[in-house]
């Protein structure tokens, strides 16, 4: 199976005047084509640091990161900006939609930045909006949408340019349980169609929609589990590790 992302012995160290903080210890991991992987861990464990490095938002102190065969750690900022536009899709907790644009224009933004012809943009936007159940919202503005509709719009924007990797940072954090379930089921559907997804979450229910969960503790990978059997059984596996980590316990409903 093709490796979409491979990080080799990456670290992140922050220096202050009087101290040295090792936010991420040497870490190696691989995400394969069409995988849905979740990263979990207690607050301050290093999961956000890891996501920032893997998403090219931050640079590792040491180590290398290859995405779709390209060494992103060796790129200059201009190269990185172009690489993000073309190869990566982002779904944030706070949606990051532009209120002055319609849903259609928000989704189309990555394609417009690539100077795709307008007719082709319309076809692509309509297709992904249909996949995510928001085709009837294309003329609306973000202020007219519910939280779940905003997050589906953000997800559509993340996939419209067919990126190599979708990175989701607490995508259900601002949603009610019904909207969160709808978004996660939509993400599973995208994954089944071939999308590669890496998601950071603190919520075991959200993580149970992934195929594989990586647990981070004290700045390093602590454990990895794979989904076997039902989602409820996988949720119980996640909860077992959560208990070891001292995380909060909740029920799957």
pLDDT in tens, 149-175: 999 999 999 999 999 999 999 999 888
Q: Are 28 and 7 in contact (CB under 8 A)?
A: yes
Q: Are 101 and 42 in contact (CB under 8 A)?
A: no
Tell me the mean pLDDT in the region 235-251. Answer: 78
* Whole-number Å distance between alpha carbons of 56 and 164: 14
Indicate the pLDDT class of residue 1, thresholds 50, 70 and 90: confident
* Whole-number Å distance between alpha carbons of 24 and 47: 9
Phi, psi angle pair for 193, to nearest 5°: -90, 0
Superfamily for 3-246?
A: P-loop containing nucleotide triphosphate hydrolases (3.40.50.300)
Q: What is the pLDDT of residues 191-202, one digit of tens each?
A: 999 999 999 999
**pLDDT for residue 42:** 86
Q: Give the length of the chain.
A: 253
Q: Which of 118, 95, 93, 94 is nearest to 105 (CA)?
A: 118
Question: Six-digit token pair at 3?
Answer: 């490796």
Tell me the mean pLDDT in the region 4-20. Answer: 93
* Whole-number Å distance between alpha carbons of 158 and 155: 5
Coil, helix or strand at residue 93: coil
Q: Which of 153, 164, 163, 212 is nearest to 186 (CA)?
A: 153
* Whole-number Å distance between alpha carbons of 132 and 31: 24
Q: Are 156 and 77 in contact (CB under 8 A)?
A: no
Q: What is the pLDDT of residues 58-110, one digit of tens each?
A: 999 999 999 999 999 989 999 999 999 999 999 988 889 999 999 999 999 99
Q: What is the DSSP letter of 143?
A: G
On the question of pLDDT at 253 being above 50, the answer is no
Q: Which residues of the chain form beta strands (DSSP E)?
A: 3-15, 20-32, 36-40, 62-67, 70-71, 88-92, 165-169, 197-200, 212-217, 220-226
Question: Six-digit token pair at 147?
Answer: 């939280």
Q: Helix (H) and strand (E) counts for the chain? A: 8, 10
Three-point CA angle 56, 106, 141, nearest 5° = 140
Question: Six-digit token pair at 118?
Answer: 């307008």
- State what percent of residues in the chain have pLDDT above 70: 97
**pLDDT for residue 247:** 53
Averaged confidence pLDDT in the chain: 93
* Whole-number Å distance between alpha carbons of 220 and 111: 36
On the question of pLDDT at 249 being above 50, the answer is no
Q: Which of 113, 118, 182 is nearest to 146 (CA)?
A: 182
Indicate the pLDDT class of residue 17, thresholds 50, 70 and 90: confident
């Amino acid at each position: 199976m093709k490796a979409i992302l491979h990080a080799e012995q990456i670290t992140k160290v922050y220096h202050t005047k009087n101290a040295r903080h090792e936010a991420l210890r040497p870490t190696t991991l691989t995400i394969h084509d069409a995988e849905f992987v979740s990263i979990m861990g207690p607050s301050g464990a290093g999961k956000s640091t890891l996501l920032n490095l893997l998403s090219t938002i931050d640079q590792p102190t040491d180590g290398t990161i290859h995405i779709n065969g390209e060494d992103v750690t060796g790129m200059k900022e201009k190269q990185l900006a172009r690489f993000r536009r073309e190869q990566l899709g982002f779904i944030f907790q706070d949606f990051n939609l532009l209120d002055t644009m319609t849903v259609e224009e928000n989704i189309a933004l990555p394609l417009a930045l690539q100077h795709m012809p307008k007719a082709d943009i319309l076809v692509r936007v309509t297709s992904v909006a249909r996949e995510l159940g928001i085709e009837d919202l294309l003329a609306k503005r973000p202020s007219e949408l519910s939280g779940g509709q905003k997050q589906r719009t953000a997800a559509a924007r993340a996939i419209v340019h067919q990126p190599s990797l979708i990175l989701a940072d607490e995508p259900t954090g601002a949603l009610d349980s019904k909207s969160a379930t709808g978004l996660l089921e939509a993400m599973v559907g995208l994954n089944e169609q071939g999308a590669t997804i890496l998601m950071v979450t603190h919520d075991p229910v959200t993580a149970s929609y992934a195929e594989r969960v990586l647990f981070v503790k004290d700045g390093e990978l602590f454990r990895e589990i794979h989904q076997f059997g039902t989602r409820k059984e996988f949720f119980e596996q996640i909860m077992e590790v959560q208990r070891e980590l001292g995380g909060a316990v909740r029920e799957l409903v």
